[in-house]
Amino acid sequence: MRSRNRSVLLDRALRDLLGQSMTQWTLVVVNDGGDRAEVDPVVDRYRLQLGDRVQVIHHDVARGMEAASNAGIKASDSEFIAIHDDDDEWHPEFLERTLAYLAHHDDAGVAVRTELVYERITDGTIEEISREIFQPQLQSITLFDTLRHNRCVPISLLYRRSVHDRIGYYNESLSVVGDWEFQLRLLQQHTLGFLDEEPLAFWNQRKDATGDLGNSVIVGDAEHRRLDQLVREIHLKEHVSQSGLGSLLYQTSYQQREFDHLHHRQNYSEDLLRQILESNNRLAERVQRLEEAVSDASLVSLVRRRYRQLKSRILGR
């Protein structure tokens, strides 16, 4: 459990973990460069319930989220691993259901349906604002989809420790997007299951929060974009070093031609639509003039009939 100067969130996270229906777990709280007074008293508050299932690691200086994850992983020896950030939550049966799945499947891990929860913190009180399903169309976790962007946030995933023996640990050079980069490596060699049912994980976000209380995906948006590009560049160069530039050059040129073709068709369609609209406008004007003419003719005819009727009455005919 990664934490840094967020005692109110850490308190909720510990209560969340203590509420799990499956109780055979161990917890490593990693205080990544934060004030110890924001961590130790909170853990001590639940020491009786936690017992010997918890240990706390303090980093004197912040080393980053991925270094915090690696420290917690290396300090434990459990068969399965989950990264439970201090601001997120689980359904009470998260561990029970994910472990049951992995007991009957060979996947390297399993992800769950996740709900985004928007909240704010006022005077130490957490207030929920709204919630929505994260990636509601999601039905599986694949490398194909993950190449585009991360489909599975840390709170949503439970995986086997043995994965680290084959693909290594989290990349500590990445201040953000480390979970996405890790999943890219994982999915190159393994599969992840997906529990497509009610949400079992809750990714809590505070849109207006800054500093330690903020979400890295929000307050570090620019850094996310920069490191996303860096990860892609690194993997692209690895691919080129093994396979050369030929196929990529062809694909790039082909995609550009297709884009130009679509752009040309779009311009043609827009021109055609403009001509149709202009033609419709001209037709509408002609119809209006015709209606006015018909209306005028009808009025003249009516006046003539009334005149003849009046004339007949005057003459006694």
**Per-residue tokens: 239:** 């691919």
CA 155 to chain CA centroid, nearest Å: 13
The per-residue pLDDT for 280 is 87
Average pLDDT of the chain, as a whole number: 90
Residue 261 banded pLDDT, cuts 50, 70, 90: confident
Query: Candidates 3.40.50.150, 3.90.76.10, 3.90.550.10, 3.90.800.10; correct CATH number of 2-243?
Result: 3.90.550.10
The rounded distance, in Å, linking the Cα atoms of 317 and 314 is: 8
> 3-class DSSP state for residue 91?
coil
Residues making up the chain, counted from first to last: 317
Ordered strands of the 157-160 beta sheet: 80-81, 157-160, 109-112, 192-195
Quick one: average pLDDT of 9-25? 97
Which residue would you say has higher pLDDT here, 25 or 255? Answer: 25
Q: Has residue 109 got a pLDDT over 80?
A: yes
Pair 112, 156: CB distance under 8 Å = yes
Through-space distance between the first and last CA atoms of the chain, rounded to whole angstroms? 108
Quick one: average pLDDT of 72-81? 97
Q: Which residues pair with 89 in a beta bridge?
A: 202
Quick one: average pLDDT of 218-243? 85
The rounded distance, in Å, linking the Cα atoms of 87 and 13 is: 7
Cα angle at 279 between 277 and 284, to 5 degrees? 95
The per-residue pLDDT for 247 is 82
The per-residue pLDDT for 70 is 98
Q: Has residue 286 got a pLDDT over 90?
A: no
Picking from 54, 19, 61, the residue whose alpha carbon sits closest to that of residue 40 is 54
Residue 253 banded pLDDT, cuts 50, 70, 90: confident
The rounded distance, in Å, linking the Cα atoms of 145 and 74 is: 30
Q: How many CB atoms sit inside 10 A of residue 278's CB?
A: 10
Picking from 271, 262, 129, 264, the residue whose alpha carbon sits closest to that of residue 205 is 129
The rounded distance, in Å, linking the Cα atoms of 276 and 259 is: 25
Question: What is the b/e burial string over 226-265, where b = at least 16 CB atoms within 10 angstroms of the residue's CB?
Answer: ebbeebeeeeeeeeeeeeeeeeeeeeeeeeeeeeeeeeee
